[in-house]
Structure 1
């Protein structure tokens, strides 16, 4: 029987979010997607010199000799999977939580055991969907070596670990969410902004058309007053901008004439209506 050995290693634990619900909705599609996503993880693990230790159900345990490469691998995994999920309906997306711990592990054959593995599994449970949570030991090694943002979760009490665990979440894309989700939110926000701008444009065009129709119904004197007020306003805008509104003073006689003509005309219209009723 092979003797149990010990060594320091970075351990990554990844687990699918809402896997049972996905299987209940579509067993074949979910299993195919799980296999595809595991292939992604396997390829990136090899690139960063890691070793897939075990896969059971929807979980994956990976061992790395370098904590830097472990974190880089996790970020690439979440980025790649978020990109793939972005093309899928929300109900069929498969997201993973990832936890990474640097600690002493026991090695027996191809399997690994011990608190180093257990803490990684508990950190995975603390991660947001599509996110990555690190232990204090991992954070200390990567915070000044990788261009990533981090958010402290403080000391967390987790299952089967006697002491609280200091945990940190990596900010993917500047947020605690996968890049794919962030892109989707940005797209929705952009669409809403375009819709709002379109509505503003419609209202503006409608207002201009109504103003033109009203002006065409007025007498020459009323149109002349409106023209002169508009002329002085444009001259003010060109020469002084809106900082100094001097156009009010030369426009005042035309504005008074315009008001008088409009009021006088309304009074005449009302008087004719009264006599007509008599």
Structure 2
């Protein structure tokens, strides 16, 4: 891979030794001093090569990303995963060989006393264990790996997302020590509430829940998690429901050295959940020298039950984005309203369920009527909780699907201002941008969301695929769709249009057949009527309908 940055010119030495290992700089191979080869992914080897070229110096994250991914959009997660891969290969838990310098970069601490003769001896030992045939085979493997890396890199070309200079906090999922029927009662409500409220402060950058919750049921290694997420602070804790009481414990850790900065516990009636969250938030803010000033929320047991059902509904739609998934979302939303008709949660869920059904012609409802009902429920949620970002988000989505672009973007901006770390709101705001032809702006916003959510969910790949399809970069669009671990029913229509764009008629028809299982009455006529006031980008609607015809959509 080419080097475009003058600050990383390689040194003349062909080997670099550190901690009992030898790195061959020309072939980018890692060996033990005894001659045993150590496997490294190609990109991890590139990162190690860049560090070895400046051994003993701090290499900035930007320099590393420009060197390894010079023309490709990646987030810092790609770099942190490579650093973690190198440390695993070295069996290096102390971070002494590859050292992290927060907000600055990384340094490879090579052996200062390694004589050239010793290095050469290590190299010869390595070569003697690896006969010529092995080198030929390795060369073939490297060619294949390089070819794959090249085409993988070409799926999107852009500048890497830069991290914020503000202090960064990650809230880990709280352990649930409840037993019996109380187990899982509140799901992740405590931690999610803390994430949402902390994100309203302009003092911190808060890592999105999708990334921080990847560490569920894993030992808390503050330094490792801090490195992987690029954060300064970690909040961890536990919750336990016992009858009508809730016990919550929380502690704030310094992610650089693992030291404890603050800890406290709370024992409250279950209805005080939101007050407990606010106490934790305010204490954390004070510990890092900034106070968040807002009115304390009101709380009662009915509101907590409504939140519980609301979360359960979204778990179902996240697991299965289909007609069956929206049916379950609606059922749980109705239960939330029954539990507390004066909280916003159930109305937000109903707004989303009716809007999704209208978009995909699920459950055979009239689209205009479905969007009207969705708007009514979203308006009710806003009336009850105007400062809740998810209330504003629900209304923004309905505006967008109704073709009310300016109203949609204004609502999205309001929701984002209320919770800047909600990467899902950022990504869902891009539909309106694509529909009016502001595709590059949409792609930039998706990148921004990926930057604040290093372990972003699958549907971000779907959204990037759709935006790149609209940009007429269908090869890249297909590559992004294939990044999804599982393609949900709703995404098969997007997959069909991308295959049609690429001339893959058989694959397009197969994908559309899956999509039509939940909406058998769909047709070109219905799609045109549904989207002609929404998809106003010049030529966009006609191009899409053309590809739907190729995929087999009936007239």
TM-score range, shorter-chain basis?
A: under 0.3
User: What TM-score do you get using the length of structure 1 for normalisation?
Assistant: 0.25
Between Structure 1 and Structure 2, which shows a larger proportion of strand residues? 1
Query: RCO (CA 8 Å, sep 6+): is it higher in 1 or 2?
Result: 1
User: What TM-score do you get using the length of structure 2 for normalisation?
Assistant: 0.15
